[in-house]
Amino acid sequence: AAGVIQSPRHLIKEKRETATLKCYPIPRHDTVYWYQQGPGQDPQFLISFYEKMQSDKGSIPDRFSAQQFSDYHSELNMSSLELGDSALYFCASSLGTGGEQFFGPGTRLTVL
Amino acid sequence: QKEVEQDPGPLSVPEGAIVSLNCTYSNSAFQYFMWYRQYSRKGPELLMYTYSSGNKEDGRFTAQVDKSSKYISLFIRDSQPSDSATYLCAMSAGGGNKLTFGTGTQLKVEL
């Protein structure tokens, strides 16, 4: 079965640079969630979208923004990167607002 | 204090053992409870998804939820070396709401 696709899988950036992470949900899933997982930590919720509208917002820095497009894929834009932004970034998708969340393989961001 | 508490382990058991993993939580609004398995540097894989109190069984896995005690458990029967991973409990207040995770329990099943 098709799963959540994330790209790129690995990304290395310098401080103060920008990064764009992409997420392609499971076909027919209309809800996307972004999570950040630091080393040895549990995933922390950043933001979610349902039917292309922001549905919830967590501990997402103002330097980050995200959107969901008409084909339901989502992009997380990160600017003025800091060393502390180095983490695994996961995207999850669900069908509507009542379903299980299925996670992608993650994007490993390293900020040097 | 975190909303969801989980013993980080590590937990080491022999192959074939029954494993019990637990989480406690403080937010009474949580209604949906999940268990994810995460291998190193991989995405969390959904194992069990339950709503409100009760038990749910799927193969070697059984999930239990006791909302009155704010306590959830995952039992793994006949544990295998391939079960070695980090197990994360997660919960949400609504079906499409953000997940709040426990810190994860690292499990090692030894031959």
How confident is the model over B46-68, as pLDDT tens digits?
999 998 888 999 999 999 999 99
- pLDDT confidence of residue B52: 85
What is the structure's pLDDT at A59? 87
Kindly state the average pLDDT of the residues A99-110: 94
Query: Cis omega before residue A8 (within 30°)?
Result: yes
Subunit contact A90:B43, Cβ cutoff 8 A = yes
Tell if the CB–CB gap between A4 and B43 is shorter than 8 Å.
Answer: yes
Q: Which of A34, A40, A33, A36 is nearest to B86 (CA)?
A: A40
Binned at pLDDT 50, 70 and 90, residue B95 comes out as low
Q: Cβ separation of B44 and A100 shorter than 8 Å?
A: no
Q: Which stretches does DSSP call E strand in chain B?
A: 4-6, 11-14, 19-25, 32-38, 45-51, 54-58, 61-66, 71-76, 85-92, 100-101, 105-110
* Whole-number percent of chain A with pLDDT over 90: 88
d(CA B111, CA B15): 5
CB contact under 8 A, B46 and A45: no
> Is the CB of B40 inside 8 Å of chain A's CB atoms?
no
Chain B CA closest to residue A96: B96
Identify the pLDDT of residue A98: 66
Q: Biggest alpha carbon distance in chain A?
A: 39
Distance from the A52 Cα atom to the nearest Cα atom in chain B, whole angstroms: 14
Closest chain A residue to the Cα of B87, Cα to Cα: A42
